[in-house]
Amino acid sequence: MKPLQELTRPNIWALAPYSSARNEYAGREARVFLDANENPYNGPYNRYPDPLQLEVKTAVSKVKGVPVECIFLGNGSDEAIDLPYRCFCRPGVDNVVAIEPTYGMYKVCADINDVEYRPVLLDEQFQISADRLLAACDEHTKLIWLCSPNNPTGNNLLREEMVKVINGFEGIVIVDEAYSDFSSQQTLRSELGKYPNLIVLNTMSKAWGCAAIRMGMAFASKEIIDLFNKVKYPYNVNLLTQRQALEALKDPFEVDKWVRMLNLERGRMIEAFAMLPICQKVYPTEANFFLAKMDDAQKTYDYLVDLGIIVRNRSRIQLCKDCLRITIGTKSENSELIAALRQFE
């Protein structure tokens, strides 16, 4: 890895971050808060929330096994996807490399930040080649985006190839593990100590059942997290979200229960899809969704929409011609989808 200072945009490295009222008295017991121009009435929502969300991070740290100083919390993963661009990529100069197909937000954030996006096609098994990813890089490549299990394909990327990318790249590698709770593959989060150029993303939106509260996580070296904290909005995670996240994090066993149930249903759905005459192939998955190649994805999609059943049509995405992406729902929702498709001709 290049020195972090060399990877960081010079204006960001030199940035004096906004210092909020609540940062400045640190360390001492406080009782009377006349520092932030808040209204003293209407507690508890009258007060600014903790800008570094230490209580939530302490709970996240226990559940995820990562030290508090190596955790960033954001307004969804979206914020954690945008921040590496803002911290590392000079608009109009630097570029990033990513697997293709994958989650759409990496490219949207590249476009917003005026950063060149270099997609590298996966193979027919939706697998990566470290050599091909590294060959797409040049001296202006700051980030490589990986996603495992990948969206929309559902499969895990080969671990040896991911490690080869991390070890072989001088910049930052981001591995989005939004779906890792559903997967048997060991998370890279536990190996952050080995890889100073690795950022691992998680979210409360999928297995944790909290898409509405908007809370995403990034795990990385303290140096990278410090950089994110400098650039983020001071109060990026609101108090309602922090409270609800704390509630959810109290009960990881509930999440395990959901995951077991959803993974069982995933097995049932894959079998049922494979039997449908209109389904050509179901791709292997370790996420809470699967990709199915249909005879005519658009026709099937339209038929389902008319019945009020919405799946994701991914047929216009590279390597995904005529593919639908199906999220695993409740047992009865899943059964309704299968019943509808059995009636379709």
Ligand X SMILES: *Cc1c(COP(=O)(O)O)cnc(C)c1O
Selected binder of ligand X within 95, 183, 205, 242 (CB under 6 A): 205
Our CB check for ligand X shows the closer of 180 and 334 to be 180
Distance of CA 48 to the CA centre of its chain: 27
Q: Considering the rule CB under 6 A, would residue 176 count as an interface residue with ligand X?
A: yes
Which of 289, 281, 293, 320 minimizes the C-alpha distance to 121?
A: 320
**Cα distance between residue 12 and residue 67, in whole Å:** 24
Give the interface segment with ligand X, choosing from 132-140, 155-163, 190-198, 199-207 (CB under 6 A). Answer: 199-207
CB of 43 to ligand X, least distance (A): 29
Taking CB under 6 A as the criterion, which residues in 251-310 touch ligand X? Answer: none
Number of residues that bind ligand X (CB under 6 A): 13
Selected binder of ligand X within 72, 85, 103, 273 (CB under 6 A): 103
Q: Considering the rule CB under 6 A, would residue 182 count as an interface residue with ligand X?
A: no
Q: Considering the rule CB under 6 A, would residue 178 count as an interface residue with ligand X?
A: yes
**Cα distance between residue 161 and residue 155, in whole Å:** 14
Our CB check for ligand X shows the closer of 201 and 225 to be 201
Q: Which distant-in-sequence residues (6+ apart) come within 8 Å of 38 by Cβ?
A: 46, 47, 48
Selected binder of ligand X within 151, 236, 263, 334 (CB under 6 A): 151
Give the interface segment with ligand X, choosing from 71-79, 163-171, 190-198, 277-285 (CB under 6 A). Answer: 71-79
Selected binder of ligand X within 22, 56, 73, 76 (CB under 6 A): 76
Q: Which residues bind ligand X (CB under 6 A)?
A: 76-78, 103, 147, 151, 176, 178, 203, 205-206, 211, 216
